[in-house]
Amino acid sequence: QVQLVESGGGLVQAGGSLRLSCAASGLTFSNYAMGWFRQAPGKERELVATIAWSGGNTYYADSMKGRFTISRDNAKNTVYLQMNSLKPEDTAVYYCAAKYKYSGGTYYSTNNYNYWGQGTQVTVSS
Q: What is the mean pLDDT of residues 119-126?
A: 97
Long-range contacts of 24-30 (CB under 8 A, 24+ apart): 24/77, 24/78, 24/79, 24/98, 25/77, 26/1, 26/2, 27/2, 27/98, 27/115, 29/74, 29/77, 29/98, 30/54, 30/74
* Cα–Cα distances in angstroms (integers) from residue 98 to residues 5, 28, 49, in the given order: 12, 11, 12
- Of 64, 60, 70, 53, nearest to 19 (Cα)? 70
Question: Does residue 73 come out as left (phi exceeding 0), alpha (psi in the -120 to 50 range) or beta?
Answer: beta
Task: Note the pLDDT tens digit of each residue in 36-77.
Answer: 999 999 999 999 999 999 888 999 999 999 999 999 999 999
14 band by pLDDT with thresholds 50, 70 and 90:
very high
Do residues 96 and 79 make contact, with C-beta atoms less than 8 angstroms apart?
yes
**pLDDT at residue 107 tops 90:** no
| Cα–Cα distance for residue pair 105/114, rounded to 1 Å | 11
Using a pLDDT cut of 90, give the percent of the chain over it: 88
